[in-house]
Amino acid sequence: MASVAARELADGEVVFVGIGLPNLACNLARATHAPHLLLIYESGAVGAAPERLPVSIGDPALVTGSLMVCGMADVFQCFLQNGRIEVGFLGGAQIDRYANINTTVIGSYGRPTVRLPGSGGATEIAVHAQRTLVMSRLSPRTFPERVDFITSPGHRCHGVSRGELGLPGAGPVKVITDKAVLEADSESGGGELVLAALYPGVAVADVRAGVGWDLKTRTTLSRIDPPSAHELRLMREVLDPRRLYLGA
Amino acid sequence: MSLTEAIASFVRDGDTVVIEGFTHLICFAAGHEIIRQGRRDLTLCRLTPDLIYDQMIAAGCARKLVFSWAGNPGAGSLHAFRRAVEGKTGGRPLELEEYSHFGMVGRFSAGAARLPFWTMRNYAGSELPSVNERIRTVTCPYTAEVLATVPALNPDVTIVHAQRADAEGNAQIWGLLGVQKEAAFASRRVIVVVEELVASDVVRADPNRTVIPGMIVDAVVVEPWGAHPSYAQGYYDRDNDFYVAWEGISRDPARLARYLDEFVYGVPDRVGYLVKHPGLAARLRAKQRLASGVNYGF
């Protein structure tokens, strides 16, 4: 997943980095094809060049050797709302048919079954980043037809499109999962997530079993190359030797 | 002033209290002292409640939480917070007032500027305004665009941890700056807690590094390692092992109570806490990465 996400990033792009796998993906891209990727963390580190894989988005290693450190008011006003962020990363406990994302509650807001952390910076990233990439493992629990709560807007919220809502960014254009990549259909097409590319050895039925709605499939599906030996070595031996994000 | 005196003088039952710091410079020493002094009915505000507010919620200090992201990054949940919200404590449920980070930053910015609200392009499509009626909209008088608004946040007291300050409280911070400046200017009272007290000359030699001027500061407290298990850039690293361990401690209310008994109620002050944490310096002391000086001459 991290290598697939890394390949989505072009050299020189400005990326708002989230914690977890996006962090690994961005640092992998920087170590391979995108050495001039500009990493901005919501904590205020701009042009970060961390010497160790950051444990959190507030890690002190993000400061050491970065281009700029600014307060969070500047991060959200001068960088994000200003339109300077080209790519944002999002994840969530639930992602629905229109790529609306829930990081707030499972169940009702007043009497939640599970209280999740909340928005953090996700709502404004979903609104302002020129495009966003979502990373999440496939399962029907994670991909219901409708999220329990819309924390961050996708392509259609209660029937209203992004254009009608006046949202500046293009929203979640791709959802990178552990089996496939889903893409958002055009706004005229309804903005719904459709199956666009498969990992090696994965069948369409495997992906459809992992989402809670009748997933449409592009007429021609791309095949995703597995990570190269070089990418695997970088991730396992250099970027994440302690397996913080890769898992055991 | 000692931290005991500062909390006794400036933090009262029922206050709106802010202990800010985004991952960096979170003043655990002050949170622990508030718990020890048994403050009640506090409205606790922070972007990321973090372990410190989880501990204060568990200790019964909080009536209400105003926040934007309540988790333990990379390690799990804040389980005392979750129990209080999911109705599993049997006590009075914790009131919530929830924003996104940008919303909380806007609230502090309005408070610091003594404006009634802050405006931003945000929240369209999100359901946050449907559960928080204080997130509203305004029509721009110049462009007729509908913009989101959040109300000013003016805390009774804000506590900021800084690397160093002089005796007047001119506080210098480097590394991640969070929203400490805005929170301090928004607040009625300000307590600055520092790793090191320095001479006024040291501050004056590098005035661009001063984030909080002494003129808005009510108390200056010296408390080395006062941010542990959070960190202070150039002084000590974050104790990530403790953040991971908190997942297990906070998941079990009995274990959490034993933690508070031993490390908060069981010590008189921060010095007592540090006695119970031998080897911190060997494990977490920051390596040297000095910046070159600049010429402030004219």
Catalytic residue among A8, A42, A86, A192: A42
List the single residue in A with minimal CA-CA distance to B174: A69
Minimal-distance CA residue of chain A relative to B83: A115
- Residue B239 structure tokens: 């104790």
- Of A72, A74, A68, A33, whose CA–CA distance to A49 is shortest? A68
Residue B123 in any domain: the answer is no
CB spacing of A81 vs B182 below 8 angstroms: no
* A19 pLDDT tier (thresholds 50, 70, 90): confident
Asked if residue B37 belongs to a domain, the reply is: yes
Contact B121 A127 (CB under 8 A): yes
* Domain at A2-239, CATH homologous superfamily: Glutaconate Coenzyme A-transferase (3.40.1080.10)
Cβ-based contacts of B74 with chain A (< 8 Å):
19-20, 55-56, 244
Answer whether B85's CB lies under 8 Å from B92's CB: no
* Chain B environment of A81 (Cβ under 8 Å): 102, 120-122
Distance in Å, alpha carbon of A57 to nearest chain B alpha carbon = 8
List, in order, residues 6 or more apart from B162 with CB less than 8 Å away.
B25, B171, B172, B173, B180, B192, B193, B194, B195, B211, B212
Least confident of A8-22, B26-40, B153-167: A8-22
pLDDT greater than 90 at residue B84: yes
Nearest CA in chain A to B290: A64
Give which of A98, A101, A115 to mutate to test B binding, by max B Cβ within 10 Å. A115
| Cβ <8 Å between B102 and A81 | yes
Q: Which domain holds residue B80?
A: 3-98+154-284
Residues of A in contact with B81 (CB under 8 A): 115
Q: Given this model, what pLDDT does residue A247 score?
A: 72
Residue B75 confidence (pLDDT)? 84
* Set of chain A residues whose Cβ sits within 8 Å of the Cβ of B146: 166
Q: What is the mean pLDDT of residues B9-23?
A: 98
pLDDT (0 to 100) of residue A123: 98
The rounded percent of chain B whose pLDDT value lies above 70 is: 100
Residue B161 pLDDT exceeds 80: yes
Mean pLDDT is lowest, of A122-131, A232-241, B123-132, for A232-241
Segment (H or E) for B171: strand B171-172
Tell me, yes or no, whether B175 lies in a domain.
yes
- Residues on chain A touching B26 (C-beta within 8 angstroms): none
DSSP state of A183: E
Q: Which of residues 205-244 of B touch A (CB under 8 A)?
A: 231, 233, 237-238, 240
Residue B11 falls inside a structural domain = yes
pLDDT at B135: 98
| Mutation site for B-interface testing, chosen from A66, A124, A150, A246 by largest number of B Cβ within 10 Å | A124
Query: Looking at chain B, which residue has its C-alpha nearest residue A45?
Result: B176
Is A42 a catalytic site residue? yes
Tell the residue number behind the tokens 């410190």, with chain if given. B52
- Residue B88, pLDDT > 90, answer no
Q: pLDDT confidence of A217, banded at 50, 70, 90?
A: very high
Nearest to B73 among A44, A57, A77 (CB): A57
Could you give the ipTM of this predicted complex? 0.96
Percent of chain A whose pLDDT exceeds 90? 86
pLDDT-based confidence at B92, cuts 50/70/90?
A: confident
State residue A190's pLDDT score.
81
For chain A, say whether B258 makes contact (Cβ under 8 Å): no
Measured distance CA(A185)–CA(A196) in Å, rounded: 10
* Average pLDDT of the residues in B279-292: 96
Q: How far is B104 from chain A (nearest CA, A)?
A: 10
Determine the residue of chain B that is closest to A98 in CA distance. B125
Query: Domain tally for chain B?
Result: 1
Residue A51 exposure: Cα atoms within 13 Å on the Cβ side: 8
Under 8 Å between Cβ of B286 and B234: yes
Q: What is the CATH classification number for the domain harbouring B163?
A: 3.40.1080.10
pLDDT at residue A248 is higher than 60: no
Q: Which residues are CB-contacts of B133 (< 8 A; sequence separation ≥ 6)?
A: none
B202 band by pLDDT with thresholds 50, 70 and 90: very high
From the list B47, B68, B120, the residue facing A81 with the nearest CB is B120
pLDDT at A244: 79
